[in-house]
Amino acid sequence: MPASALRILYVMDPLARILVDKDTTFAFMLEGEQRGHEQYHCGIEDLFAEQARPVARVRRMHARRADPPHTLHEERTVPLVWFDVVFMRKDPPFDLAYYFATQLLGLVDPRVTFVLNDPRGLREANEKLYALRFPDLVPESLVSAEPARLKAFMESLGGEMIVKPLDGYGGAGVFHLHRADRNLNAILELSTRDATRLVMAQRYLPVVREQGDKRLIVLAGEPLGAVRRIPREDEHRGNIHVGGRVERAPVDARDREICRRMAERLNADGLYFVGLDVIGGLVTEVNVTSPTGVQEIDRLDGVCLEARVLDFVEARAATLDRRAAAH
């Protein structure tokens, strides 16, 4: 391995699930391949610990824009300290398996190996609730399991709102509710599991119909790029996999202001690579587990955001004390 090359581990879903024209992790892999880094893959089920020593069953991998798009080599077992960089890129759900994986990754000495995003930050930052740490940047919000309280909140907003599960992802379980909907009570009972599960309610922002839901990619507190997702006529969700249309979206002054005000907290929590969902200049979610959108922005803007991410990772790796990594 060349002296300047890094050993990089991607903790993620099986490579067979990768969508090569959409997956942000695949873009990172292609950039790492081009730079000559030695790259490996494992799933969260491949992580384990011997005493306080985090270890993984990994396979060397190569990525390319060809068929097949990746090659996996023989499995080997190595301590995580063997890697310069670990990308935690497992897709949601954030379940107990994911939680325990962050606990194992948290055993990694950050002076020796750089983990992106920080496991502690991943545990702290529920993608719905984390935005509430910035109350002046988010729409009016209520977190409750009480249907009556949620309905009262909706009335205070003029009779409509968005309700979403705290552990949801990809737009699953997100409802646009109206006071006149005869299904209102049933939907709130379903969402809250009969008043036993917390949900988030937020003001509905009608500007989403014209301006869409902007995905703002942020690196170390700085905006890298953005893409706009416009809902279908018969949908209120702009998520791409439910038919949202993708449009170019320049980073504007409001985006920079949002990042400026959030940067200190994001960086303190080790949340270096995040995706902010912004509607009408307000942050609705902070995506930290495996934010995507890089390939769409690359194509629309003619840029290479993954190169800037790898630049950042290489700069962080250059500050590590790798003497403890002898294996």
Smallest CA-to-CA distance from 114 within 88, 133, 86, 137 is with 86
Of the candidates 151, 203, 215, 228, the residue annotated as catalytic is 215
245 is catalytic: no
Of the candidates 237, 255, 296, 314, the residue annotated as catalytic is 237
CA 121 – CA 53 distance, rounded (Å): 21
Of the candidates 89, 203, 214, 229, the residue annotated as catalytic is 229
7 is catalytic: no
Residue type, 270: G
118 is catalytic: no
CA 290 – CA 204 distance, rounded (Å): 26
248 is catalytic: no
Peptide bond into 93 cis (omega under 30): yes
Of the candidates 89, 90, 164, 308, the residue annotated as catalytic is 164
Of the candidates 214, 287, 298, 306, the residue annotated as catalytic is 287
Of the candidates 23, 31, 38, 285, the residue annotated as catalytic is 285
Can you tell me which residue has the tokens 């730079």? Answer: 35
Of the candidates 128, 203, 228, 308, the residue annotated as catalytic is 128
Residue 36 CB partners (closer than 8 Å, separation 6+): 2, 4, 5
Question: DSSP letters along 220-282, please?
Answer: TTEEEEEEEEEPPTT-S---GGGTPEEEE----HHHHHHHHHHHHHHHHTT--EEEEEEETTE
Q: Both tokens of residue 223?
A: 């905006």
Q: What angle do CA 167, 168, 172 make, to 5 degrees?
A: 160
Residue 115 CB partners (closer than 8 Å, separation 6+): 85, 86, 88, 105, 108, 270
213 is catalytic: no
Can you tell me which residue has the tokens 């307000």? Answer: 282
The answer to whether 302 and 90 are in contact (CB under 8 A) is no
140 is catalytic: no
Q: Both tokens of residue 271?
A: 């949340």
Of the candidates 23, 84, 127, 277, the residue annotated as catalytic is 277
CA 140 – CA 136 distance, rounded (Å): 9
197 is catalytic: no
Question: Which residues participate in catalysis according to the annotation?
Answer: 128, 164, 215, 229, 237, 277, 285, 287
